[in-house]
Amino acid sequence: MPQSAVDITPDIKCLITEDDAPVDNLPSEKQQRLLTEPLYSAWVGPGAGRPFLAAANVGICAQARNPAIVPDMFLSLDVQVADDWWKREHRSYFLWEFGKPPGSGAGNRVQH
């Protein structure tokens, strides 16, 4: 009997997806915005009908048992953030949800 997606989704209760630490300083916060804002405001994207996600200082989780890596910025093509992105299970970049690591080719689109 095949497992459903709900059955194989990792338990993320033990993962740290945010630590409520403040940004280092005002220039740091501005630099983070400079890494993503131009993509959203001026870039036409990877092509018609191809969504993307550009994020700064967001955790990327490859496995539920390992800590997240937090790059200064990442870009992921052909992915879509869940509509309910405020829920804990959608606040970080979980590879099992997006279907691929950032910067790689086409993957699964999240649709909730």
Cβ 103 vs Cβ 95: under 8 Å: no
Check residue 37 and give its pLDDT. Answer: 96
How confident is the model over 78-85, as a mean pLDDT?
A: 92
Query: Which pairs count as long-range contacts for 61-66, CB under 8 Å and 24+ apart, including other chains?
Result: 61/12, 61/15, 61/17, 61/92, 61/93, 61/94, 61/95, 62/95, 62/101, 63/10, 63/95, 64/10, 64/11, 64/12, 64/14, 64/15
* 93 — pLDDT class (breaks 50, 70, 90): very high
Reading the block at residue 29, the tokens are: 């916060």
pLDDT tens per residue across span 27-74: 888 999 999 999 999 998 888 889 999 999 899 999 888 888 999 999
Q: What is the mean pLDDT of the chain?
A: 81
DSSP state of 38: H
Report in angstroms the alpha-carbon separations of 9 from 4, 16, 97.
9, 17, 8
* 7 — pLDDT class (breaks 50, 70, 90): low
CA distance 106 to 25: 36
Q: Is the pLDDT of residue 75 over 70?
A: yes
pTM over 0.85: no
CA distance 84 to 88: 9
